Amino acid sequence: MAVLRVNPTRMELTQMKRRLVTAKRGHKLLKDKRDELVRRFIEIVKENHRLRKQVEEQLSGALKDFALASAVMEPGAMRQALLYPARQASITMDKKSILSVQVPVFKMDENSLSEAVLPYGLVDTSAQLDGAIETMTNTLPLLIKLAETEKTSSLLADEIQKTRRRVNALEYVMIPQFEETIRYITMKLEENERGALTRLMKVKDMLAERTT
Amino acid sequence: MADKLLKMGAVGESDAIQAFRAIGAVAVPATTPDEVTQALHRLAREGTPVIFITESAARMAPEAISRYEQTMETAVIPIPGIKGSDGYGEQKVRESVIKAIGADILNQNN
């Protein structure tokens, strides 16, 4: 590992030592952060995986019912029936912080949670459509939950990647660099000291020789 | 922002997203890459926090989707289309697991 380009002085040495301490503390903190993020991430992603399977199953069923309904109904009648939705699905968005990663929290509006209301008369629509809409309505809370966990997990994944890079940069680049530099300065200073000492001894010898 | 009522969006083939219109989401039909991209950007600009997109539509506009991946305001969620799931959503989940942990851990547990 390359030594930083610094002057081998005592002042630089104390500064380097201080930076090393800071780097080590930062490294420990970031490492803890990474471990905790990973733990939470695994929890969330497992939940997400489970939810996704469930939602995909239900949704595929509902969409198939829709396709069936549109097959038995007159073309255009379906569009007409669904032209004006009888209910407004509204959600509210809140924020929460997981280890200072901002993640969204979605909630269904209470009015949207009411019973499935059919937006059409029953005369020229097929019964499959009613069932499909009911399934969709029941899937809605799950969909919202899925959106929340999926977004959270993707945001967390990004943060984990960033944190891991920081941890590795500190562990394998910064800290060894500081240690190496500290050793270099100490050795240089010791060498200087030895040089000064021998010089003094030499001068003393020379002075002693002159007086005799 | 916390208590404002927001809408949901849906993008995809008109057959699939009709179901979403029925439950009150803003459905934007889109079948070409350009349409999908435009629909996504429009919904995001309008401040729609959750956009459901059918898997086949999602495959058409990967750039638009990756643009919203790291913003908190817009969640683009792939859902199965009328033909059922083709594994795109699942693949996205796996990608983020691999990104975070470095290995696919979902396989072993299920």
Question: For position B1, what pLDDT does the model report?
Answer: 44
pLDDT in tens, A107-122: 887 665 555 566 666 6
Report the share of chain A in percent with pLDDT over 70. Answer: 89
| Residue A4 domain flag | no
| Residue A60 domain flag | yes
pLDDT in tens, A135-193: 888 888 888 899 999 999 999 999 999 999 999 999 999 999 999 999 999 999 999 99
Report the CATH number at residue B42: 3.40.50.10580
Q: How many CB atoms lie within 10 A of CB B1?
A: 11
Please judge whether A89 and B15 are an interchain contact, meaning their C-beta atoms are less than 8 angstroms apart.
Answer: no
Tell which wins on pLDDT, A90 or B76: B76
Please judge whether B49 and A91 are an interchain contact, meaning their C-beta atoms are less than 8 angstroms apart.
Answer: yes
Cα of A171 vs its chain's centroid, Å: 20
Closest C-alpha to A9, from A198, A195, A178, A182: A182
DSSP 3-state of B5: coil
DSSP 3-state of B53: strand
Separation CA A46–CA A41 (nearest Å): 8
Domain membership of residue A122 as a residue range:
10-205
| Residue A5 domain flag | no
Report the share of chain A in percent with pLDDT over 90. Answer: 48
Angle formed by the axes of helices A10-72 and B88-101, nearest 10° = 170
DSSP 3-state of A76: coil
Number of structural domains found in chain B = 1
Please judge whether B15 and A48 are an interchain contact, meaning their C-beta atoms are less than 8 angstroms apart.
Answer: no
**Cross-strand bridge partners of residue B24:** none
| Residue B105 domain flag | no
Reply yes or no on whether the pLDDT at A87 is more than 70.
Answer: no
Question: For position A81, what pLDDT does the model report?
Answer: 72
Question: For position B95, what pLDDT does the model report?
Answer: 87
Closest C-alpha to A112, from A137, A133, A145: A137
Separation CA A106–CA B75 (nearest Å): 10
For residue A38, name the pLDDT band (cuts at 50, 70, 90).
very high
Question: For position A166, what pLDDT does the model report?
Answer: 95
Kindly give the pairing relationship between strand B26-29 and strand B6-12.
Answer: parallel
| Residue B12 domain flag | yes
Tokens of A159: 């943060």
| Residue A179 domain flag | yes
Tell which wins on pLDDT, A65 or A203: A203
Chain A hits for B108, Cβ within 8 Å: none
| Residue A1 domain flag | no
Report the CATH number at residue A113: 1.10.287.3240
A125 in B contact zone (CB under 8 Å)? no
A107 in B contact zone (CB under 8 Å)? no
Q: What is the mean pLDDT of chain A?
A: 86
Reply yes or no on whether the pLDDT at A83 is more than 90.
Answer: no
Q: Which of A55, A136, A148 sits opposite B19 (nearest CB)?
A: A136
ipTM of the complex: 0.86
| Residue B87 domain flag | no
| Residue B107 domain flag | no
| Residue B77 domain flag | yes
Residue in chain A closest to B70 (alpha carbons) equals A155
For testing contact with chain A, the best of B50, B76, B108, B109 (most A CBs within 10 A)? B50
pTM: 0.83
| Residue B108 domain flag | no
Tell which wins on pLDDT, B93 or A33: A33
Number of structural domains found in chain A = 1
Domain membership of residue B77 as a residue range:
8-82
| Residue A198 domain flag | yes
Most confident range (mean pLDDT) of A8-17, A53-62, B86-95 is A8-17
| Residue A139 domain flag | yes
| Half-sphere CA count of B70, side-chain side, radius 13 A | 9
Q: What is the DSSP string of A118-174?
A: -SS-SSSS-HHHHHHHHHHHHHHHHHHHHHHHHHHHHHHHHHHHHHHHHHHHIIIII
One digit per residue, the tens of pLDDT, for chain B of length 110 reads: 446 778 888 898 887 787 788 777 888 888 899 999 999 999 988 888 889 998 888 888 888 888 888 888 888 988 887 777 778 888 888 888 888 888 877 765 54
